[in-house]
Structure 1
């Protein structure tokens, strides 16, 4: 839990940008009419169609960071499983629970927000209860997929390097088989949730293991691979294949080489990325209650988008400072006290 491993601050910045892509450029399309967005520049049009794939970048970053933190030295042992689990709970659950309770209070009248869906959200199983992405705090579906990845990672890591390699290989092969055999064009599709998480998370670990070999890859080649993954039309197959196998791995490697990605503003954004991700959807649903979709030009689109982004960033900063971090510290402190008391008894 208190790892001496150097923090990958540049990936914090990348995570922050990915959160902003989902929160500010993809989901808020509901604030505008189709005609208002028709004249948008190509980068914005791309986010309107494919901004949801930023979640797959989250999965990839998580896998890389987990390998960096937990696979160095003696790795994740059975003796460390308790601390590992507590760290994951402290990181994810308090803010998830707070957002869930807020959404329950504000949006219980939504037909999809049933008692079953509420129980699933409480247990962080929301990605496995229909309608996925449309109950309470919709974007939180990806958190429950990450939890599955954490469990598989922990089981593999505590079984030894060979076991983890088998878990990694099976997860990636199974996910890719799903996309090849059952993947459909467009998206996002509900049935792709778990394969998306498995592919991204465990591919991230493969990238970490190969970091030495990949360090010499020319920047120009990485840029070409990134663009290839973005632009390749898969026809009748899932667009996630080139994105997960080419675009996002290349972008992660490029971010690791960009000093500005670890700058103070980017670190600030990265530290609040989880809060941005969970806060923006409830705020957007509240705005949609009284907002009439704007039908003006691009100047109005950018102004409204900037206003919404500013509101989310302000609210996220307050939540991060006064709830997320205090809750995380309290849980970890409680575990430390318990560990100190339990250690003499075990001895």
Structure 2
């Protein structure tokens, strides 16, 4: 996604593409898998499991949300390095980036379920505080609103965090990470659900955004070579994959053990390292792959916001490939039906709902040497 504020890094769009397709595969495998097995709407009972490590990685693709959030912190901090972030134009840009698609889906949800509309619930969703249980929700149109809400809560703090980091360094960000972890510990100590507070909330996810910010400063200062990136990034990726497979064998997403309060921090650390190490390698990809990944990455927000609607439509209309062998069927339905449909609709959404508003974005960065003392 090119911006007039941030130097374009093609590798960032590669990672956005990867994360968007991963979360799409995750939801497709679970929802379609449940429909094929039980012929009824999805619930988290009978959570799908596999002893195959590659399938396990797909089934724990919720970690793609962590990659998105870490990547957000990285790209904003990368752009703001050595600069002052002006709050009003920054937030205006965020509204132009998010709200056209967000409001379009909200409008559909209201049209589908007008009887569910209440003023407090709509206010929470519009602010956005859609990650609150009392917010307006109509499946599948608002399914991904919770993540947008959490991201937007990060954006409100980013200009202040960027300014403090420029003056005092990353120790401030580390302090906030420790504070967020302490909040999660307290919530669980008082009877809260470790999974719920860690997965759905600001205090559960802010670690990832902040670790992305730290990673940006590391990247700018060190500018690792491709060789250095490979030497560090390959083990980091193996740790990420091994950790996810182990997580899957411990029960996967449905596990509510106390250690879930640490899991989101661990995800953020590993994905932050992978981001820093992938960017020097991205330039070495063949041109055709680079172009394809950039194209998908540019449309990743629409893919993320719309994919649940596509999956639900495919299931409800019975547009599924049938046969034997559950995971082969899931792969076929994902690759030949759900993925192309989602990408096609997201491409249209990008042209109609995103690009016209992206062109309205303003500059929000002022070099530090241009600021009054």
Judged with a 3 Å threshold, the aligned counterparts in structure 2 of structure 1 residues 295 and 190 are, in CA distance, closer, same or farther, namely: farther
Q: Is 1:102 the equivalent of 2:108?
A: yes
State the Cα distance separating 1:9 from its structure 2 match: 1.3
Aligned residue in 2 for 1:231: 242
Partner SS for 1:75: strand
**Do 1:28 and 1:284's aligned partners in 2 also have CA atoms closer than 8 Å?**
no
Judged with a 3 Å threshold, the aligned counterparts in structure 2 of structure 1 residues 187 and 14 are, in CA distance, closer, same or farther, namely: farther
Structure 1 unaligned regions, length at least 5:
337-347
Structure 2 unaligned regions, length at least 5:
39-47, 251-256, 364-373
TM-score by length of 1: 0.80
Aligned residue in 1 for 2:216: 208
What is the rounded CA distance, in whole Å, between the counterparts of 1:206 and 1:295 in structure 2? 48
State the Cα distance separating 1:103 from its structure 2 match: 2.6
Aligned residue in 2 for 1:19: 20
**Do 1:19 and 1:54's aligned partners in 2 also have CA atoms closer than 8 Å?**
yes
State the Cα distance separating 1:39 from its structure 2 match: 6.5
Give 2:56's match in structure 1, choosing from 45, 62, 87.
Answer: 45
TM-score by length of 2: 0.74
Partner SS for 1:51: coil
Partner SS for 2:72: helix
Aligned residue in 1 for 2:89: 83
* 1:59-91 alpha-carbon deviations (Å, 9 max, x no partner): 11111100111223x332xxx332212111111
Aligned residue in 1 for 2:300: 273
What is the rounded CA distance, in whole Å, between the counterparts of 1:11 and 1:304 in structure 2? 28
* 1:109-134 alpha-carbon deviations (Å, 9 max, x no partner): 7x7x7654333222211013347987
Judged with a 3 Å threshold, the aligned counterparts in structure 2 of structure 1 residues 57 and 38 are, in CA distance, closer, same or farther, namely: closer
Task: Give 1 or 2: higher helix fraction.
Answer: 1
Q: Is 1:173 the equivalent of 2:200?
A: no
Partner SS for 1:127: coil
Q: Compare 199-208 and 285-294 and name the one that shifted more.
A: 285-294
Aligned residue in 2 for 1:243: 267
* 1:80-109 alpha-carbon deviations (Å, 9 max, x no partner): 332212111111111111111123323557
* 1:314-333 alpha-carbon deviations (Å, 9 max, x no partner): 0000110122111333x44x
Aligned residue in 1 for 2:30: 29
Work out the number of aligned pairs and report it: 324
Judged with a 3 Å threshold, the aligned counterparts in structure 2 of structure 1 residues 133 and 168 are, in CA distance, closer, same or farther, namely: farther
Partner SS for 2:7: coil
**Do 2:233 and 2:278's aligned partners in 1 also have CA atoms closer than 8 Å?**
no
Aligned residue in 2 for 1:343: none
